[in-house]
Amino acid sequence: MADEKRDYYETLGVNKTATKDEIRSAYRKLAKKYHPDINHDPDAPKKFEEVQEAYDVLSDDQKRAAYDQYGFAAFGQGASTGGTGNPFENAGFSSQGFGGFDDLFNSFFGGGRSRRAQSNGPQKGNDTLYSVKISFMDAVNGTHIDVPLTYDQPCDACGGTGAASPSDIQTCPYCGGTGYTTQRQQTIFGVMESQTVCPHCHGTGKQIKKACPKCGGEGYSRVRTNIDVTIPAGINEGQQIRVKGKGERGVNDGPNGDLYVEIKIDSDKRFTRDGNDIHSNLDLGFAEASLGTTVDVETVYGTVSVEIPAGTQPDAILKLKGKGVKDLRTSRPGDHYLHVKIHTPTDLTKTQKDLLEQFQKEENSKKKSWWKNPFKK
């Protein structure tokens, strides 16, 4: 009954002289506190509805004025204000309920929420994520991995219905198969309507008279298995591979969600990767860099022979075209860059020292000759 309801001001915890900002602030705190998605207390949904109803009235000047003058009688069926008909008929109020909640819900949780319950149509299940680490070379060349997986699949005895037989499935008598119940209240502003998920069929629109003996009415069974996942050549850190239908089970005969395998890649002592390019160090001796030579170089595709030009300088970069990682989409390979590191010998024989000393004398002689007559040809 109306006289058993809490005063709207009391519900929001504000005075009758409260400003709109004070009412809005009180509502935001209480709506967040009692929202069923956050507060799982059995009384939370009822308290949330009370808070919403109070705010719907007190946040609107004309509705608030009617409530202040007539109390709950302003919203009761057949309420009269001394005139004929509905005195607020042309005030611009919606006959389908009070607005404003969606905007406030957006500010709390980042998304809108309708006051209408969702229909009982098929809904895809949630996706799941599995992270796996592979070697650097497997990422370059591709591989296959086994992914341990636990997922729900429809019961093979009942086909996912949860019923012992098709005749044991009946339309929910409480919601008429819609999956939600509708509450209507005649008020001075028109018909107020709200919808909630049917508590008897939990939104499916169906009831099972006799449960499937194999799955106990669940309609599905848990499966534990390993699935083979192909890792394509050229995959990079953080990329994901989608395995369709291996996520969480759907709702109301909806399809399963998908499994996403996220790739993590181990480092390699020999190589580093930048996009599709490979980088590595090339160690050369002083004589090799000075005179030039041919060396065997390890790449991600095996060993290749590389010509080192005479006079190669420290920190020079040599490019091996097409020896990088193949692009995941185009298969076009990147390049391999060799970063030259020249090592100075520390354990020289007498012959090596004599040769280097002779080399140094000749170099010094060239410098002196040039400074003596730098313009002489």
pLDDT at 315 over 50: yes
Read off the DSSP letter of residue 177: T
Distance of alpha carbon 286 from alpha carbon 98, whole angstroms? 85
- pLDDT tens readout for residues 244-268: 988 888 877 778 899 999 999 999 9
For domain 2-109, the CATH class is: mainly alpha
- pLDDT tens readout for residues 110-139: 443 334 444 556 788 889 999 999 999 999
Cα torsion 82, 83, 84, 87: sign = negative
Vertex 145 angle, CA 141 and 150, to 5°: 155
Query: Residue 340: what pLDDT?
Result: 96
Give the domain ranges of the chain. 2-109, 122-153+222-267, 272-344, 352-377
Over residues 321-330, the mean pLDDT reads 94
* Domains 122-153+222-267 and 272-344 are alike in CATH topology: yes
Query: Residue 339: what pLDDT?
Result: 97
Q: Which residue has the tokens 């680490």?
A: 133
Binned at pLDDT 50, 70 and 90, residue 298 comes out as very high
Q: How far are the Cα atoms of 3, 180, 251 from residue 208, in angstroms, in the given order?
A: 40, 17, 16
Binned at pLDDT 50, 70 and 90, residue 286 comes out as confident
- CATH 3.40.50.720 assigned to 122-153+222-267: no
- pLDDT tens readout for residues 168-207: 989 988 888 888 887 777 666 666 777 777 877 777 788 8
Query: Residue 71: what pLDDT?
Result: 79
Superfamily of domain covering 272-344: Urease metallochaperone UreE, N-terminal domain (2.60.260.20)
Whether the pTM exceeds 0.75: the reply is: no
